[in-house]
Copies of this chain bind each other. A is one copy, B any other.
């Protein structure tokens, strides 16, 4: 932590004021359908970017090779509580905990906990909101791109070849420490693969990703079921505006739910054998003076869920304005219908806030 430092301390602090509503039919703890019209006007935080602080470093090992590490912690600015829980535990470095090697010639290898390839490569290309802005994020429609994080992962990403980059990761157990497997017994671990390709050069952005996890064999009913998701996205910058579009399919479950109002959809790494969801999005972003305006539509079209199988539609409009290189203000409005495929369940988010990067 001095001038010849070997570690960088960094983070993002993001807070604001907002209005949220969840309205429609929900199910209480006993499973009964009840009419609900929940509202909240108050402090919001982590909307533009999730709150975080972290330690990272790079050391030259010679021949262009570097040792690298990232330790990144998430938190809620309203309460100061850590995010990214594991069971009843709040993780210390829930956003990322990796050690690795990188070089311009050979690419980058990381070991530890981090986000999957779809969140890294697809989200920013398919949507102007990327992984940010709550229910406006690409991940609300494409669940494998919803800032999904895997524990115990090995990940390799190639160097950037004229705009092309390929990445692949494998997790020995996606959520929690890898368990021992008794010889001849069922595997208690959730194995996961994540892979993808992106091309970003001049005005063009392209991404294709594939994710798969296998439910623990020890699960009573769905043990060993493979949940799969692939996504393709494209963007083109016409200077006056950048267009974004994406398509994807998810089969047999759900990778990562997101929060609509006070409804957390589906948890993470949930199996629903036979479920099929097709996801679509188009979006646009455009510079407005020094700021930027963003708009998107996303639809997730389900078959074979246990519920209503209604199409979830999300319409979002956002604006960011830089106060400086590291600080900006933002406004967001987003309206979602048939949330979590439930007939006529609606979620509204309206907010303004400030984000500071350090």
As a 0/1 sequence over residues 72 to 103 of chain A, the CB contacts with chain B under 8 angstroms (1 = contact) are: 01011111111010101111111111110100
Judged by a CB distance under 8 angstroms, whether A165 is at the interface is no
Q: How many residues of A contact B (CB 8 A)?
A: 87
Given A7-B358, A40-B178, A180-B261, 15 other A-B residues pairs in contact with their CB atoms under 8 A:
A1-B8, A7-B11, A17-B154, A37-B182, A43-B152, A45-B112, A57-B358, A62-B324, A75-B93, A77-B112, A78-B178, A80-B94, A80-B95, A80-B97, A90-B90
> Would you list which residues of chain A between 303 and 330 have a CB under 8 Å from chain B?
323-324, 326-327
User: Which of A14, A326, A356 has the most chain B CB atoms closer than 10 A to its own CB?
Assistant: A356
Neighbour of A59 across the interface among B95, B179, B356, CB < 8 A: B356
**Is B323 in contact with A152, judged by CB distance below 8 angstroms?**
no
CB of A67 closer than 8 Å to a CB of B: yes
Q: Mark A234-251, 1 if CB is under 8 A from B, else 0.
A: 000000000000000000
Q: Is the interface of A mostly helix, strand, loop or mixed?
A: strand
With A61-B327, A178-B43 known as contacts, the answer to whether A97 contacts B113 (CB < 8 A) is: no
Per assembly, the copies of the chain total 3
Closest Cβ of chain B: how far from A96's Cβ, in Å? 7
A173 — which chain B residues lie within 8 A by C-beta?
42
Determine whether the beta carbon of A59 is less than 8 Å from that of B8.
Answer: no
A237 CB to nearest B CB, Å: 28
CB <8 Å contact, A113 and B69: no
Q: Which residues of B contact A178 (CB under 8 A)?
A: 40, 42-43, 78
Determine if A38 and B80 form an interchain contact, defined as CB atoms under 8 angstroms apart: no
Enumerate chain B residues within 8 angstroms of A261, measured Cβ to Cβ. Answer: 180
Q: Once the chains are docked, how many angstroms separate the CA of A22 from the CA of B182?
A: 9
- B79 x A152 contact (CB < 8 A): yes
| Cβ–Cβ contact B93 & A90, under 8 A | no
Looking at the assembled complex, report how far the CB atom of A309 sits from the nearest CB atom of chain B, in whole angstroms.
26
Asked if B111 and A92 make an inter-chain contact with CB atoms under 8 angstroms apart, the answer reads no
Q: Indicate whether A224 reaches chain B with its CB closer than 8 angstroms.
A: no
Going nearest first, the 10 A-B pairs with the smallest beta carbon separation are A42-B172, A38-B180, A80-B93, A37-B183, A1-B9, A80-B97, A82-B92, A43-B152, A67-B327, A78-B152
CA distance A95 to B179 in the complex (A): 25
At the interface, yes or no: A211 with Cβ under 8 Å from chain B?
Answer: no
Q: Which residues of B contact A69 (CB under 8 A)?
A: 13, 356, 358
Chain B residues with CB under 8 Å of A95's CB are: 80
Residues of B close to A93: CB separation below 8 A: 75, 80
Say whether B112 contacts A97, CB under 8 Å: no
Contact of A176 among B2, B79, B94, B326 (CB under 8 A): B79
A55 interface hit (Cβ, 8 Å): yes
- Give 1 or 0 for each of A14-33: 1 = CB within 8 Å of chain B CB: 11110010100000000000
A177 at the interface (CB under 8 A from B): yes
Q: Quick check: is A294 within 8 A (CB to CB) of the other chain?
A: no
Contact of A358 among B6, B37, B76, B89 (CB under 8 A): B6
The minimal Cβ–Cβ distance linking A351 to chain B, given in whole angstroms, is: 12
24 CB contacts below 8 A, A to B, read A1-B7, A1-B8, A7-B9, A9-B9, A11-B55, A15-B98, A39-B183, A40-B181, A42-B178, A57-B358, A59-B358, A61-B323, A67-B354, A69-B356, A78-B97, A78-B178, A79-B86, A79-B151, A79-B176, A80-B91, A80-B93, A80-B97, A81-B86, A101-B354
